[in-house]
Amino acid sequence: MENLTSEKSYDLIVTIVSKGWGEEIVQAAREKGCKGGTIIPGKGTGIDGQKSFFGILIEPEKEVVLTVIEKEHAKEVMAAIRTAGKLDQPGTGIAFVVDLSDVTGIF
């Protein structure tokens, strides 16, 4: 059986932003060489993000963007994501990198 596990090292960039910003994040990553990303809808639960409208609690909608990138390009892609998502401004979102120990399906 053929081994499909990649010989390269990869990182996963996880970005959590307000609904509607996921495409901006994916586009910024693509401009730096990523082939794509996955946008997952989510719901914020942080106490600072809860607002009410006529006494009804409104939970903020989020988008979680998952981007797998070769480790050597992770810092460059992360910088592009930070700029595109305005993550240097308070309350706009968060991004972090997770080391991937084994990846398959990337060719």
The pLDDT value given to residue 1: 42
pTM of the complete model: 0.82
Q: Which domains does the chain have, with CATH numbers?
A: 17-90 (3.30.70.120)
Amino acid sitting at position 28: A
Measuring CA to CA, how many Å separate 96 from each of 65, 80, 104?
11, 13, 21
The pLDDT value given to residue 43: 84
pLDDT per 10-residue tile (average), the chain, 107 residues: 65 95 96 92 71 65 95 96 95 94 82
The pLDDT value given to residue 103: 87
DSSP state of 96: E
